[in-house]
Amino acid sequence: MAATPHRTRSGRLWHGAYLTFCVLVFVFLIAPLIVVVPLSFNAQPFFTFTEGMLRLEAAAYSLQWYRDILANDQWLLAIRNSVIIASCATALATVLGTLAAVGLSRPTMPLRGLVMTILISPMIIPIIIVSAGMYFFYSQVGLAQTMLGIILAHAVLGTPFVVITVTATMMNFDYSLTRAAASLGAPPLLTFFRVVLPLILPGVVSGALFAFAASFDEVVVVQFLAAFDQRTIPLQMWAGIREQISPTILAVATLLIVVSALILTAVELLRARVNNQRGVKTI
């Protein structure tokens, strides 16, 4: 019986080198994010580790920057704006993206490739170009510096995420189910809500979570379209870095990391559920 690669000396060396390389890549990717977390608990108004923090002294750590978030009207306004804009944009993007994906998944759909390319173009085109185009267009129709304009712009940016995830979910959809429902006299709308939507719901929710995250983290479009009282969390962070550097920004960044991690966890759970429905083994 031939020895496995891990049981030979060269195999162990290669395996060790492979694991070391993977750990280095992981640290390179995640370190800039992780370093923000302990700095957000710094008792001093610095963006660097103090000697007390390095010695793990309790007095060197504090929650004051998290308390500052709740005591600062600008941060509270930014949080409220971000939640409202992201929630409304996600709802709109989910409806539009799901309908588009259902249509694109039909075999009789003409010009499917061209339509798909146009729908996902906001994801591919540089965001600065999209933002400038939206600014000039929305200014002409009176939507610039309005909450509705920002919601519509973020819905445009979030729709491609919904289209891609729902289209992928419907790749193995069994259309004999819809034909069976139609043969029993069910109208198309009832068939969609009773047959199609329950089966593609994990993909729809995954797309909605991606759209929410895209809106919640977006800053360039908001810079073009938002008035002063329509600042979102990313724009408030950007303004804080330029105007008054405070560790409160690190506390907000830590909270955003937690929210993003929760969203990614939910997406992975939904992806595993979709794979289970397809009979695909999740790695």
Q: Minimal CA–CA distance to 253: which of 271, 269, 240, 267?
A: 240
**In whole angstroms, what is the distance from residue 33 CA to residue 27 CA?**
10
Q: Is the Cβ–Cβ distance between 162 and 204 less than 8 Å? A: yes
pLDDT per residue of the chain (283 residues) written in tens, 0 to 9: 445 556 788 888 888 899 999 999 988 888 888 888 888 888 888 777 888 888 888 888 889 889 988 888 888 999 999 999 999 999 999 999 999 998 888 878 888 888 888 988 888 889 999 999 999 999 999 898 899 999 999 999 999 999 999 998 888 788 888 888 888 888 888 988 888 888 888 889 889 999 998 998 899 999 999 888 888 999 888 888 777 777 888 888 899 888 888 888 887 887 777 667 656 554 4
pTM score of the predicted model: 0.81
**In whole angstroms, what is the distance from residue 274 CA to residue 169 CA?**
7
Query: What are the DSSP E strand ranges found in the chain?
Result: none
The predicted pLDDT at position 1 comes to 47
First to last CA, the chain: 28
Give Cα 40 distance to the centre of its chain: 23
**3-state secondary structure (DSSP) of residue 18:** helix
- What number of other Cβ atoms are within 10 A of residue 242's Cβ? 8
Task: Spell out the long-range contacts of 257-260 with Cβ–Cβ below 8 A and sequence spacing 24 or more.
Answer: 257/33, 257/36, 257/37, 259/216, 260/213, 260/217
The predicted pLDDT at position 283 comes to 47
The predicted pLDDT at position 91 comes to 95
**In whole angstroms, what is the distance from residue 123 CA to residue 256 CA?**
22
The predicted pLDDT at position 229 comes to 87
Identity at 107, one-letter amino acid code:
P
Interacting residues of 266 by C-beta distance below 8 A, sequence separation 6+: 205, 209
Which sign, positive or negative, has the C-alpha torsion 194, 198, 204, 209?
Answer: positive
